[in-house]
């Protein structure tokens, strides 16, 4: 097989599976680890993929969003990396903490698996609130205001309300994060709301799976170093993590083999 044919086959696998690992390239094409890494480097230089910690993922269009009125509850399949990030985030919660839980998939996994200790959960998502209300040990503060079709409040009234709450930990995410552009998102309303959440929090933890690392969305929320901690997964691009580390952002990388209990 010519190198051009191998490169095309690698791109086809990424398009179909959403990722490829170095090991998979070695096994499928009978090449060395060094050759596999070189293939991915050459394809990245051509703007055809993005390298990660152990392989590569496709370049994505940041402007894509879920259809209106769809929530994390409407997509029941578990993404391993999202789930593991959520489980790692839960380890940071202590008795009597007041925490903010982001809307979206990672926040939903957190809400489903909160520890059985006394805490207060602040959220602007009725989906998260509905999940948490079943737990007797948890007090819920639901941030209100104009509601989006997805059941999330982020208008000026929501900003005012969250600004009056002291948070021990804010668990947040957005469309993307990069060292040069910071946290970013598509919606202007989210910019004001998330900045208010960050301002109210003693500690801000960013929950960013590989798919969101190293990209820029339309609107900047804040610089990356507004995060006290970033939790990501085993496939996150090493070059971007190095740049974030240089900004003094503490990083926890959740390993795939850490799946347990």
> pLDDT for 115-149, tens place per residue?
999 999 999 999 999 999 989 999 999 999 999 88
Q: How far apart are CA 62 and CA 181, in angstroms?
A: 14
Out of 25-29, 201-205, 226-230, least confident range: 25-29
Confidence of residue 72 (pLDDT cuts 50, 70, 90): low
3-57 to CATH, choices 1.10.10.10, 3.30.930.10, 1.20.1260.10, 3.30.470.10 = 1.10.10.10
Q: How far apart are CA 161 and CA 138, in angstroms?
A: 20
**Overall average pLDDT of the 195-201 stretch:** 97
Residue 257 confidence (pLDDT): 59
**Overall average pLDDT of the 157-165 stretch:** 96
Residue 258 confidence (pLDDT): 45
Report H helices in 136-187. Answer: 156-163
Is residue 60 predicted with pLDDT exceeding 70? no
- Global pTM reads 0.76
> Domain 72-258 falls in which CATH fold?
Rossmann fold (3.40.50)
Helix-helix angle 22-29:3-17, to 10 degrees:
130
Is residue 182 predicted with pLDDT exceeding 70? yes
Helix, strand, or coil here: 239? helix
**Which residue intervals of the chain bear CATH 1.10.10.10?**
3-57
254 bridge partner residues: 233
Q: Which residue has the tokens 């007041």?
A: 98
**99: exposed, middle or buried (Cβ count in 10 Å: 0-12, 13-18, 19+):** buried
222 bridge partner residues: 183
Q: How far apart are CA 240 and CA 220, in angstroms?
A: 17
Is residue 259 predicted with pLDDT exceeding 60? no
Q: How far is CA 51 from CA 114, 241, 257, in A?
A: 33, 12, 20
**Overall average pLDDT of the 93-104 stretch:** 96
Confidence of residue 19 (pLDDT cuts 50, 70, 90): confident
Out of 52-61, 77-86, 208-217, least confident range: 52-61
Residue among 232, 230, 234, 231 at smallest CA distance from 256:
234
Residue 63 confidence (pLDDT): 40
Out of 106-110, 148-152, 199-203, least confident range: 148-152
Is residue 74 predicted with pLDDT exceeding 70? no
**Which residue intervals of the chain bear CATH 3.40.50.1360?**
72-258
Tokens of 57: 């993922």
């Amino acid at each position: 097989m010519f190198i051009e044919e191998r490169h095309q086959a690698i791109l086809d696998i990424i398009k179909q599976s959403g990722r490829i690992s170095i090991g998979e390239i070695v096994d499928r094409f009978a090449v060395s680890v060094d050759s596999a890494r070189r293939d991915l480097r050459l394809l990245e230089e051509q703007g055809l993929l993005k390298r990660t910690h152990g392989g590569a993922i496709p370049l994505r269009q940041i402007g894509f969003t879920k259809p209106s009125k769809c929530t994390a509850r409407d997509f029941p399949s578990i993404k391993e990396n999202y789930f593991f990030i959520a489980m790692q985030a839960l380890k940071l919660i202590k008795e009597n903490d007041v925490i903010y839980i982001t809307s979206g998939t990672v926040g939903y996994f957190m809400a489903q698996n909160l520890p059985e200790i006394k805490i207060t959960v602040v959220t602007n998502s009725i989906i998260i609130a509905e999940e948490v209300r079943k737990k007797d040990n948890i007090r819920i503060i639901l941030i209100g205001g104009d509601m989006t079709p997805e059941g999330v409040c982020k208008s000026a009234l929501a900003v005012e309300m969250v600004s009056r709450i002291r948070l021990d930990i804010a668990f947040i995410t957005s469309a993307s994060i990069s060292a040069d552009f910071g946290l970013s998102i598509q919606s202007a309303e989210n910019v004001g709301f998330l900045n208010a959440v960050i301002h109210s929090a003693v500690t801000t933890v960013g929950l960013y799976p590989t798919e969101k690392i190293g990209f820029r969305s339309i609107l900047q929320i804040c610089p990356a170093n507004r995060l006290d901690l970033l939790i990501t997964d085993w496939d996150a691009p090493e070059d971007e993590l190095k740049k974030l580390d240089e900004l003094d952002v503490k990083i926890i990388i959740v390993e795939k083999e850490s799946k347990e209990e």
